Amino acid sequence: MFRMIAIVAGVGLALAGSVEAQTPRKGGTIRMTAPYGSSFTSLDIHTTQRAQDEIYAKALHRSLYIWNSAEGKPVLELAKEDVVSGGGLVHTFKLRDDAYFHSGRKMTADDVIWSYNRIMDGAKAFPGARYVRVIEGAAAVEKGQAKEISGLKKIDDFTIEMKLTEKVDPGFYFFTALTSIYPADEGAKESFIQKPIGLGPFKFVEHVPGSRIVLERWDRFYKSGKPYADKVIVSVMGEAAARDVAFRNKEIDTSVLGPAQYVAYQSDANLKGTIVEVAEVFTRYMGMNPSFKPFADKRVRQAINYAIDTDLIINKLVKGKAYRATSWLPLTAPAYDKAMKPYAYDPAKAKQLLTEAGYASGFEFEWTTSQNESWGLPIVSAVIPMLDKIGIKAKVKQVETAVLAEVVRSGDYQAFIYSQASGPDPLAALKCFHSSTPQPACNYMTFKNAEFDKIVDEAAQADDPAKRIQLLQKANALLYEEAPVWFFNYNKAVMAVQPWLKGVQLNATELTHQNVEDLWVDETSPAK
Amino acid sequence: MLSFLFRRLLQTIPTVLAVVLLVFVLFSVVPGSIVSSMSDDADPQVEMRLKKQLGLDEPVYMRFGSYIAKLATGDFGTSFRTREPITAMIAKRAWPTLQLIFAAMAFAILIGVPLGFIAALKPGGIVDTIAMVVAVSGLSIAKFWLGLVLMYLFALKLGWLPSFGYGDGGLKFLLLPAATLGVSPMALFARTTRAAVLEIMTADFVRTARSKGMSETRVVKWHVMRNALVIILTTVGLQFGGLMGQAVVVEKLFSWPGIGSLLVDSVLQRDIPAVQGSILVVVLAFLAINLLIDVLYGVIDPRIRYV
């Protein structure tokens, strides 16, 4: 299903076709861009959860699993085999015995254990702790109550046993760069931050802060014949207009497009063929605080969903660079229910629901927003008159994106508009609405529904994948009915790719995160 | 001279302390906290460990005291985000920023000062009119827009220069960002020079020089230019400080690895030690350049004495 959606969504079909038809060329330079800000946060990838940093990390580092875009799921990367026992809680991983760090040393089980223990150092607050915490005993290390994660055991140099606290697919927890495996000896040194060493297909050459990272081919990479390219340059380019000039000038091979550029590239015959797009696992929504009296009533929340002409906003303001959200789970989630229809635009029904809830003359609320063009102030400004028609007045409170994140986590709002990861693991995404999930974790609307909890708990325990999907669909439908949010859209990620760059993967977790060893450039690339 | 320098250096201490205090207080009261943004869904016990690790478990006045004590030893602290020493982070960015600012200033001086001079020699003439149109436009144009126009023209259309990046730090990468940053001071220098020259041309000592039979070239060279330079130099000194602030936009647009982009990133990421360090370096640079300008006054005009 994942592949199907990607193909339907993808405009770069000719590009994909040509990948299959040609033999990958060895050599050349891949010139990627990092579009989400002006600098990389750190060369210690354990310290940063920004999408920006993972772009270079995909070339430099490797984790236990990797995201497979074609299959739409995480697959084993540094391990060859995972044997599950103990009622689904114990995973015994047979590690690769051909993975070499860029220092030339072979990776062993000690490196995996050392890396996960490092991530759980509570005094450092590594963001990957949220994933490693699923291993038994990891939380105790984080709190300083233990020195080593008790649920991790070395069987031999290339075998580890991992005992989990709950029955989940560890692939979803250990595929991002946040859980990259570091060399235990080098990783502890101060110099590691200046010259990082990883297991990825490219090794570190140079970092010019605020400008670029340069990496070159690692000849002892464990995938035979890969990587194809000699060099990868990741340039920091936060300004869309500057990226546009550089892309047209053939100075870069990839460029993420915003709504305005998406329209411009579609209408330009020379650029239209460069567009690649995919439905990413992010849901944009307006969260409503149930402790604000009107929002405690389900009918009010439903009324808001009926009162907003969501399609109009997506088409006119977001320029079609989004997919209409039905419920929480995005198009690319395995539990997405195609049969489900979104809330219709029906102001009369909205007014009726408001009247039934005792708000016939409406009410006023404060709406906290950032300036984001796709899910911030422009959207709020368009929605306000629509809500006004049914008597609801919204007062805007504008904050910086970083502040909004804290407002959302602390619950200090009446309503907010946000973009939140709703995948790739549908169970984890829906668990955000489980009453046991703390608000700062991701239950931002402090959603509490006994029936929902029961369905999600059953899904978590289900051994049969089909049964699990069915239960998750049921939970997703219940969310639709309860409408804790205004379901706005799922992000459509759009990237322009030069015709000479091949092997681009439609990665629904983040389009800019490419498994660089699969990319290659043909002889028409202007880069040496 | 030495006592003058010593006195001026002493005068900078309260300025630096005031800036450090202001930045420290501002970042203590702005909404949001580095701890909650870093620890995400961690429990209170873990948050407390993190606070302790970052030294944020102490009262503000104690943190300020220990910060000042460290500063006195040249220790700017450690980044909350990258765990790198701030001095190392700034050191990596200092040279590109200096390159950019000095190149922009050279561009501004080499074009702006002669332009203002020529305009003043024939006020109301065609050169004067064109020069002042250029000057007003230069002051009005937004840097972001100008940078894009230059990129479009010199990179995309003419293919002469790269549109972005630092490359090897060479001239071809420097030209477009420096020109973008230098246009505004160039315009200001042209206007200031014109006004200064026009005023000096009507001064008594110039009239005296002419009445003594001195050639116009000698009058301009020995009397007008020299006296105008004192005024121009003051403007140049002030512009250096201004450019350090304005460089932020240009650095971001051209992916130039300077202190400006470090400052913006640090603010957005609530990396307080990095913000404090970046601002402090900008302030120190501003003070140093102005001190240098004060010294140059005496070289240009021997009538100025250091008291």
For residue B39, what pLDDT band results from cuts at 50, 70 and 90? low
pLDDT for residue B41: 63
Mind listing the pLDDT tens digit for each residue in A76-132? 999 999 999 999 999 999 999 999 999 999 999 999 999 999 999 988 889 999 999
Query: Over 70: is that where the pLDDT of A433 sits?
Result: yes
Segment 57-76 of chain B within 8 Å of chain A by CB: none
Question: Which SS3 state, helix, strand or coil, does residue A169 take?
Answer: coil
Identify which of B130-144, B157-171, B209-223 has the greatest average pLDDT: B157-171
Average pLDDT over residues A154-170: 96
Cβ-Cβ contacts under 8 Å, B38 against chain A: 125, 127
Sign of CA dihedral B87, B93, B99, B102: negative
pLDDT for residue A8: 45
For residue A13, what pLDDT band results from cuts at 50, 70 and 90? very low
Cβ-Cβ contacts under 8 Å, B81 against chain A: 41-42, 47-48
ipTM: 0.85
Mind listing the pLDDT tens digit for each residue in A326-342? 999 999 898 999 999 99
Distance from C-alpha of B63 to C-alpha of B28, rounded to nearest angstrom: 10
> Taking a C-beta distance cutoff of 8 angstroms, is the pair A362, A409 a contact?
no
For strands A415-421 and A363-369, give the pairing: parallel
For residue A24, what pLDDT band results from cuts at 50, 70 and 90? very high
For residue A14, what pLDDT band results from cuts at 50, 70 and 90? very low
Distance from C-alpha of A398 to C-alpha of A401, rounded to nearest angstrom: 9
Segment 40-59 of chain B within 8 Å of chain A by CB: 40-43, 45-46, 49-50, 52-53
Average pLDDT over residues B17-29: 85
Contact B252 A122 (CB under 8 A): no
Mind listing the pLDDT tens digit for each residue in A400-413? 887 898 899 889 99
Contact A402 B156 (CB under 8 A): no
Average pLDDT over residues B145-167: 96
Going by the DSSP 8-state scheme, the letter that residue B131 receives in this structure is H
Q: Which of A254, A299, A144 is nearest to A519 (CA)?
A: A254
Residue B168 sits at the chain A interface (C-beta within 8 Å):
no
| In chain A, % of residues over pLDDT 90 | 86
Distance from C-alpha of B79 to C-alpha of B82, rounded to nearest angstrom: 6
pLDDT for residue A49: 85
Helices (H), B30-85: 34-39, 44-54, 60-72
What does residue B53 show for φ and ψ, rounded to 5 degrees? -60, -40
Going by the DSSP 8-state scheme, the letter that residue A47 receives in this structure is G
Distance from C-alpha of A278 to C-alpha of B172, rounded to nearest angstrom: 37
pLDDT for residue A11: 44
| In chain A, % of residues over pLDDT 70 | 96
Cβ-Cβ contacts under 8 Å, B269 against chain A: 41, 402
Distance from C-alpha of A272 to C-alpha of A419, rounded to nearest angstrom: 27
Residue A122 sits at the chain B interface (C-beta within 8 Å):
yes
Of A123, A251, A406, the CB nearest to B164: A251
pLDDT for residue B2: 75
Cβ-Cβ contacts under 8 Å, A235 against chain B: 164-165, 255
Query: Over 80: is that where the pLDDT of A9 sits?
Result: no
Contact B264 A38 (CB under 8 A): yes
The pTM score is 0.88
pLDDT for residue A2: 45
Contact B262 A210 (CB under 8 A): yes
Query: Over 50: is that where the pLDDT of A5 sits?
Result: no
Q: Report in angstroms the alpha-carbon separations of B23 from B16, B19, B63, B133.
A: 11, 6, 13, 39
Shortest CA gap A154–chain B (Å): 27
Contact B38 A130 (CB under 8 A): no
What does residue A20 show for φ and ψ, rounded to 5 degrees? -70, -30
Mind listing the pLDDT tens digit for each residue in A320-377? 999 999 999 999 898 999 999 999 999 999 999 999 999 999 999 999 999 998 999 9
Shortest CA gap A147–chain B (Å): 15
Query: Over 90: is that where the pLDDT of B238 sits?
Result: no
Instruction: Give A276's strand partners.
Output: A495
Residue B155 sits at the chain A interface (C-beta within 8 Å):
yes
Query: Over 80: is that where the pLDDT of B304 sits?
Result: no
Mind listing the pLDDT tens digit for each residue in B198-228? 999 889 998 998 898 888 888 888 888 888 8
pLDDT for residue B287: 85
> Taking a C-beta distance cutoff of 8 angstroms, is the pair A272, A266 a contact?
yes
B301 CB burial (10 A radius; 0-12, 13-18, 19+): middle
Distance from C-alpha of B133 to C-alpha of B140, rounded to nearest angstrom: 11
For residue B283, what pLDDT band results from cuts at 50, 70 and 90? confident
Q: Is the peptide bond before A499 cis (omega within 30 degrees of 0)?
A: no
pLDDT for residue B306: 58
The pLDDT mean for chain A works out to 93
Average pLDDT over residues A178-189: 94
Query: Over 90: is that where the pLDDT of B5 sits?
Result: no
CA angle, B239 then B244 then B247, to 5°:
110
Average pLDDT over residues A200-228: 97
A400, containing H or E segment = none
Shortest CA gap B190–chain A (Å): 30
Sign of CA dihedral A464, A467, A472, A473: positive
Residue A501 sits at the chain B interface (C-beta within 8 Å):
no
Query: Over 70: is that where the pLDDT of A417 sits?
Result: yes
* Strand blocks (E) in A356-503: 363-369, 392-398, 415-421, 485-497, 501-502
B152, containing H or E segment = none
Interface size A-B, in CB pairs within 8 Å, comes to 150
> Taking a C-beta distance cutoff of 8 angstroms, is the pair A162, A135 a contact?
yes
Average pLDDT over residues A497-510: 97
Going by the DSSP 8-state scheme, the letter that residue B78 receives in this structure is B
For residue B115, what pLDDT band results from cuts at 50, 70 and 90? very high
Query: Over 80: is that where the pLDDT of A12 sits?
Result: no
For residue A10, what pLDDT band results from cuts at 50, 70 and 90? very low
Question: Which SS3 state, helix, strand or coil, does residue A506 take?
Answer: coil
Q: Is the peptide bond before A424 cis (omega within 30 degrees of 0)?
A: yes
Instruction: Give A92's strand partners.
Output: A83, A161
Distance from C-alpha of B149 to C-alpha of B156, rounded to nearest angstrom: 10
pLDDT for residue A250: 97
Contact A409 B49 (CB under 8 A): no
Distance from C-alpha of B114 to C-alpha of B193, rounded to nearest angstrom: 8
CA angle, A19 then A60 then A493, to 5°:
50
Segment 135-164 of chain A within 8 Å of chain B by CB: 142-144
Within 10 angstroms of residue B62's Cβ, the number of other Cβ atoms is: 11
pLDDT for residue B305: 61
Query: Over 60: is that where the pLDDT of A4 sits?
Result: no
The two three-digit tokens of residue A309, written as one number = 């002409």
Cβ-Cβ contacts under 8 Å, A248 against chain B: 156
Mind listing the pLDDT tens digit for each residue in B173-184? 999 999 999 999
Buried residues in A207-229 as b, exposed as e (16+ CB within 10 A): bbbbbbbbbbbbeebbeeebbbb
With a CB cutoff of 8 Å and minimum separation 6, the contacts of B303 are: none
Cβ-Cβ contacts under 8 Å, A406 against chain B: 31-33, 36-37
Query: Over 50: is that where the pLDDT of A19 sits?
Result: no
Distance from C-alpha of B186 to C-alpha of B193, rounded to nearest angstrom: 10
Lowest mean pLDDT among A194-208, A266-280, A498-512, B110-124: B110-124
Q: What do you get for the CA distance between the two ends of chain A, in Å?
A: 39
Of A41, A235, A402, the CB nearest to B255: A235
pLDDT for residue B233: 86
Lowest mean pLDDT among A179-193, B109-123, B290-304: B290-304
The pLDDT mean for chain B works out to 87
Query: Over 50: is that where the pLDDT of A1 sits?
Result: no
